Structure 1
Amino acid sequence: MIRLRDIRSRLEELERRDNLTADDEREFDELTREFSEVDDHRRQLERRSALERVRSAVQSTERTPAALRVERGTATNPGDGYDADPILNPDSVEEARFRNPWDLSSVNTWSRSREEVGAELRARALCAVERMRGATDPIRSVATDILERWDDEQGTIARMCLATSSPEYLRAWSKMARGMAHMIVPDEQRALERAMSLTDNAGGYLVPFQLDPTIILTSDGSKSDIRRAARTVVATGDIWHGVSAGEVSWRWAAEGSEAGDNAPGFGQPTVPVYKADGFVPISIEALQDEANVTAEVGRLLAAGKDTLEAAAFATGDGVGKPTGLVTALAGTASEILPTTAETFAAADIYKMEESLPARYRSGASWVANKRMYNLVRQFDVNGGAQMWERIGNGQPNELLGYPALEAENMAASWNPAVNGDNRVLVYGDLTNYVIADRIGMTVEFLPHLVGTNRRPTGQRGWYAWYRVGADSVNDAGMRVLNVKTTSP
């Protein structure tokens, strides 16, 4: 009630002004939304109070004679009062889970293992995903999948989700993004401090979970064909550790014979993650004119991230950045030379397909620069009809029946007069190429940018950084064509 009175007083003060500035207008809108949220919470408390009176009245009937007694539903947990009567309170089943999944003050850590606490945090995070604001259904689906598949036993991702998806944190982050930190109220400040406790000493503010570019790209679709075809995982540390194994060696067994040791040999591929950063400048006028700057910042960060990664996933050298698909296969047994030296011909397409084991071909794809595909179309007078399927008509191109993916950073040509490697075409099952995403992009807000004379330019900026890695974990499942050239 105290907060409601404070909001009302401030709204009345703003209403008495003859002319409101743009900041006043935004403050008025923020306070109006907050008043609605607090008032909804007040009404919910009043409903619960009324429900308790109903429960007390029903319990009093237990002291009446059996002939006059009114039977009621059996409580699932009689001691805690939850779900006491789903007929009188049909919403109690859902409310009994977590009335506020972001309120971690009720999480009991005493005499409980880290795994037990992690399990509760995960359950709360899954509940929070369903309630978090500013999220579409695809984003909720991706967030749920990440929590269920990649969270560790201690609930590392769940803890981050709870800290950065709450309504208080989203409001505080939005105010920070618009340069309105002075309007942050105490509960929003506490949400910021809780989230900042999950970051390292580099500072900055974690992007709200529902606006994390990794989640947005997964839900909306990445422009990088390699990312769409590769296997994507979530890393919670500096290195992603996987498990690989060969096939189990089955045998034909005679009756009563002892089983052989058919266990495969296990390996542990690793993918290190690297830091990438970006900067988004924006004028003060644009901030004032943009209706939903928070969502716009998330979109800009995701677009820049996608562009940077597309180049690294194709040809990244693995030094301070992900190892690209071409780089990972270069110089390995998966490298194929053309049938005719320094020449790319139709026979090389068939040679690559035949060299890949059958178990990988069912999920195989091609990856090349667009100019290489155009060259393939010129292999015969019919425009490559002997190999191409579904050309045009809104259908994706298929070369020999396999999707033809594009990577514009791969080689587009070669010079026969120069010594060099020209890896122009990749073919194989790209799930053997792993992209390890580290959930949790961090942003630092710069209130003013300055020019060469150290004077403000009328712009603000967001400096963002995140971490990602990529590498091949099974070269045998892919092939790369290298049109080597030598000087005459």
Structure 2
Amino acid sequence: MENTLPAEALDASFDLVARQDAADAALGALRSDVEEVKSRLERVSRAAARPALSGAAQPSPELKGFVDGYLRFGREAELKSVSGAVLADGGFAVPREIDAMIAAQLKAISPIRAIAQIVQTGTAGYRKLVSTGGTASGWVSEVAARPETNTAKFSEIAPPMGELYANPSATQAMLDDVDFDLEAWLASEIATEFARAEGAAFITGSGTNQPLGFLSAPTATTGDASRAFGTLQFLGSGHASGFDTAPELKLIDLVHALKSGHRQGATFVMNSKTLAAVRKFKTADGAFLWQPGLLEGQPARLLGYPVIEAEDMPDVAANAYPIAFGNFRNGYLIAERKVTTILRDPFTNKPFVNFYATKRVGGQVLDSDAIKLLRIEA
């Protein structure tokens, strides 16, 4: 006799199986949700263990990896490349965020860098050609012979290069402190040291393992037409130890010793002590030569030209050059490597960690007709 179940029993059995499958699926989804919540709680817990500075912006993942992995713990697997490539392709290089900050602060501190011509080089063997004599021409009649005219001459500029360095340090305890703004501190320390050294070298550098400052270039009293290339022209002040009785006339002569093309964009450069004396100069009718800036952010002017304060310029003294006037964008060239490198040294000076930063910088007078000097002499 055939054994069969009623239709109602079969339907109930199928319904029970379907409910069991649905329950299993719901349980699996719940387990997945639990695992996700657990993972989020773990991430929050790890973040809470190292709280961020109050009000500080969250750093980029690349910068955070560089700071936590290399500067703080010295893990070489987390070196950051200045090129912006992956971490494994790095080197001992400052991250892009810090390098950009250094450049901005250098312009604010080193005035010659802000007004000179800057080129980025790939090697220390940078060269530049300067045309020292244009092609000549002449007038002839329609059928006259055309004799040969002079051709242009060139001189080579090779700015002396030197390695600029800074070596700030911090204790390991400071690096471990979560409230310590490592990026701002490192950038400020390096920028201050670089600006101090550059500001002096661009003005008075000897050219030996450092830039050749424009005050270290040869000087002469002859004009542009007969003076040797690379030699700066100077004018005397009319007094052996200072300015004569009509100093404003000497400054006017200094301005107009510069070619008119260079006067477009020219600047006075002097230190604050010399500037204090110059601000007291008056014309014959009693008006001050000094003109303060009319708007915020505009430089003060002397005879209509901006004045830049550079503390590395010499004071007023016998045979000194306390005042320079010229178009430094055309007259002085700064050549530098693009990359600022930084080496973390936790071993040499325990318990301090040194950050040895270096950068190659060079400089030299580019066009000697574009800069004029005032010399203190009778």
Q: TM-score, normalised by structure 2?
A: 0.70
Number of the residue aligned with 2:290: 388
Look up the SS of the partner of 2:337 in the other structure.
Answer: strand
Change beyond 3 A, Cα 1:351–1:460: same
Which of 288, 303, 328 is the matching residue for 2:217?
A: 328
Distance of 1:356 and 1:281 partners within structure 2 = 47
Number of the residue aligned with 1:372: 274
Kept after mapping to 1: 8 A contact 2:206/2:212: yes
Number of the residue aligned with 2:109: 223
Q: Is 1:278 aligned to 2:305, yes or no?
A: no
Superposed CA offset, 1:282-304 (max 9, x none): 23443323465235423432333
Deviation at residue 379 of structure 1 after TM alignment: 2.5
Deviation at residue 181 of structure 1 after TM alignment: 3.5
- Identity, in percent, stands at 24
Deviation at residue 275 of structure 1 after TM alignment: 0.5
Change beyond 3 A, Cα 1:337–1:21: same
Kept after mapping to 2: 8 A contact 1:377/1:384: no
Q: Is 1:460 aligned to 2:353, yes or no?
A: yes
Structure with bigger helix share is 1
Q: Which moved more, 1:380-389 or 1:286-295?
A: 380-389
Which of 179, 198, 213 is the matching residue for 1:309?
A: 198
After TM superposition, list the pairs within 5 Å mapping 1:183-262 onto structure 2: 184=77, 191=86, 194-196=89-91, 205-212=92-99, 216-218=102-104, 221-245=107-131, 246-252=133-139, 254-255=141-142, 258=146, 261=149
Which one has more relative contact order, counting CA pairs under 8 Å at least 6 apart?
A: 2
Distance of 2:79 and 2:323 partners within structure 1 = 57
Structure with bigger strand share is 2
Give unpaired runs (5+ residues) of structure 1: 1-7, 27-32, 34-132, 135-166, 197-204, 415-419, 451-455
Change beyond 3 A, Cα 1:476–1:268: same
- When the two chains are superposed, the root-mean-square deviation of aligned CA atoms in Å is 3.9
Look up the SS of the partner of 1:334 in the other structure.
Answer: strand
Superposed CA offset, 1:377-418 (max 9, x none): 22239998342223565331111111111111111232xxxx
Number of the residue aligned with 1:342: 241
Distance of 1:413 and 1:237 partners within structure 2 = 39
Deviation at residue 343 of structure 1 after TM alignment: 3.2
Change beyond 3 A, Cα 1:323–1:382: same
Q: TM-score, normalised by structure 1?
A: 0.56
Q: Which one-letter code corresponds to 1:327 in the other structure?
A: S
Look up the SS of the partner of 2:174 in the other structure.
Answer: helix
Superposed CA offset, 1:455-474 (max 9, x none): x44x3221111110111022
Equivalenced residue count is 317
Distance of 1:339 and 1:359 partners within structure 2 = 27
Distance of 1:21 and 1:247 partners within structure 2 = 67
Kept after mapping to 2: 8 A contact 1:172/1:184: no
Q: Which one-letter code corresponds to 1:15 in the other structure?
A: E
Distance of 2:79 and 2:103 partners within structure 1 = 33
Q: Which one-letter code corresponds to 1:298 in the other structure?
A: A
Kept after mapping to 1: 8 A contact 2:239/2:376: no
Distance of 1:256 and 1:171 partners within structure 2 = 78
Number of the residue aligned with 2:42: 15
Deviation at residue 208 of structure 1 after TM alignment: 2.4
Deviation at residue 271 of structure 1 after TM alignment: 0.8
Kept after mapping to 1: 8 A contact 2:110/2:199: yes
Superposed CA offset, 1:232-289 (max 9, x none): 1112111321121134435456557759546422222111221111112123443323
Deviation at residue 186 of structure 1 after TM alignment: 11
Change beyond 3 A, Cα 1:176–1:301: farther
Distance of 2:40 and 2:107 partners within structure 1 = 46
Deviation at residue 12 of structure 1 after TM alignment: 5.4
